[in-house]
Structure 1
């Protein structure tokens, strides 16, 4: 992973990312285009982060129930943020 924008606009290093406790993903237009299911390599990498103890969060402008099929597999402990922050699902609720 090359890095991601961190606080203050700086680029986070791999070490910063490895120490993160929560990893958030903006789904639409980043790993997913046109409502298609995310490429199989992405959930595999995300699953590795989950197994390493990262709390996952997925955000989308779509409603949460429309976000689930695009993820390609369930993430029962993930925080799902839909409708541009208007809907939140924690632990499947």
Structure 2
């Protein structure tokens, strides 16, 4: 299953968020992209599974670690929220 399995609007929104998250120069842009990732992950289970495949986790982790960036507090909160949404419901019980 790939990004083509998601409808066109959601796919375009995912790709735009990934691009802004990975290449956004301003902390505000990256913060907004992290918020969009969280929203997308909440909205649809299939999208939630596709977002990590598109590479959102490393930039989100970088945002958490970047304490020196201007506007870092808001960006860190947004990154943490996005990571939590991506992780929600992914745990498995092992017998």
TM range, smaller chain? 0.3 to 0.5
Whose strand proportion is higher, 1 or 2? 1
Structure ranking higher on relative contact order (CA contacts 8 Å, 6+ apart): 2
Q: TM-score, normalised by structure 1?
A: 0.35
Query: Where is the helix percentage greater, Structure 1 or Structure 2?
Result: 2
